[in-house]
């Protein structure tokens, strides 16, 4: 996998890098990678293939609702391996093999992505229009992704690991989403992660008895 630089993504990243809304910050990042093996990619690919096949062997016997049918296809396993390799290159110091990252990918559609984006990036989208005018943030994102990976030919995946093994999760995170846009023909994948972080936690104002529940909401020491 090799990191690729694209001007359309750089412009969006400049805008997404830091949008402060008082008690919280919303930010995002787009990264493009080629799916050509470099360095230790080949060794990792073989290891991941064995891991997935081992998972298939156990799942087919114990869990009829597992994604085993999808992974039976060699091309599907290859796609999943590319996605996990992308994670390795995004976070080279994190060991994804220990958390079985392949189990946390879900195939999505543009409509399902759009619904999440419109809901959670509403404030940032308003700021984009106020700052740049013209097209919406989603339209600008679509155009940039289409230029890099041809969205009509893409497969879209979300990555939703357990919170305690999520390398994307920052201190004070309120919500976080990770999507991957993969084009088989171009052998290219674009990752898009966006999140909302509490500035109160980041600045050290909420400590001690303040904590997060499973949905990322902050609760002080209070009777419920």
Q: Which of 44-53, 74-83, 209-218 has the lowest mean pLDDT?
A: 209-218
Q: What is the CATH number of domain 2-201?
A: 3.40.1000.50
State residue 55's pLDDT score: 63
Crossing angle for the helix pair 7-16 and 122-132, nearest 10 degrees?
Answer: 110
Q: What is the dihedral of CA 49, 51, 53, 57, to 10 degrees?
A: 180
**Residue 99 and residue 111 in contact, taking contact as beta carbons nearer than 8 Å:** no
Give bridge partners of residue 190 from the DSSP assignment: 32, 181
Domain spans, the chain: 2-201
Please determine, for residue 211, whether its predicted confidence score (pLDDT) is greater than 50.
Answer: no
Confidence of residue 57 (pLDDT cuts 50, 70, 90): low
Return the higher-pLDDT residue of 14 and 219.
14
Distances (CA, A) of 63 to 39, 100, 107, 216: 36, 16, 19, 29
Higher-pLDDT residue of 43, 155: 155
What average pLDDT does range 130-135 have in this prediction?
87
pLDDT of residue 79: 82
Confidence at residue 202, expressed as pLDDT on a 0 to 100 scale: 56
Which of 17-26, 146-155, 198-207 shows the lowest mean pLDDT across its residues?
198-207
pLDDT digit string, tens, across residues 62-116: 554 444 455 555 567 788 888 888 888 888 777 766 556 556 788 899 999 999 9
Name the percent of the chain lying above pLDDT 70. Answer: 71
* Range of weakest confidence among 49-63, 88-102, 116-130: 49-63
pLDDT in tens, 152-193: 999 999 988 766 656 667 778 899 999 999 999 999 999 999
């Amino acid at each position: 996998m090799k990191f690729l630089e694209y001007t359309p993504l750089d412009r969006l990243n400049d805008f997404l890098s830091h949008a402060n809304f008082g008690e919280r910050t919303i930010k995002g990042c787009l990264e493009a990678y080629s799916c050509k093996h470099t360095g230790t990619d080949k060794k990792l690919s073989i290891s991941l293939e064995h891991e997935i096949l081992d998972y298939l062997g156990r799942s087919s016997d114990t869990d009829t609702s597992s994604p085993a049918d999808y992974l039976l296809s060699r091309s599907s396993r290859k796609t999943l391996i590319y996605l996990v390799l992308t994670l390795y290159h995004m976070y080279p110091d994190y060991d994804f093999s220990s958390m079985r990252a392949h189990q946390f990918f879900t195939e999505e559609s543009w409509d399902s992505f759009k619904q999440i984006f419109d809901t959670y990036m509403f404030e940032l989208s308003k700021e984009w229009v106020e700052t740049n005018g013209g097209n919406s943030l989603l339209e600008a994102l679509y155009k940039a992704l289409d230029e890099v990976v041809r969205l009509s030919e893409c497969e879209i995946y979300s990555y939703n690991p357990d919170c305690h093994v999520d390398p994307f999760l920052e201190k004070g995170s309120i919500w976080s989403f990770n999507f991957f846009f993969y084009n088989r023909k171009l052998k290219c994948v674009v990752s898009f992660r966006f999140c909302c972080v509490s500035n109160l936690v980041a600045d050290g104002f909420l400590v001690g008895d303040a904590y997060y529940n499973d949905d990322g909401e902050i609760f002080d020491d209070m009777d419920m």
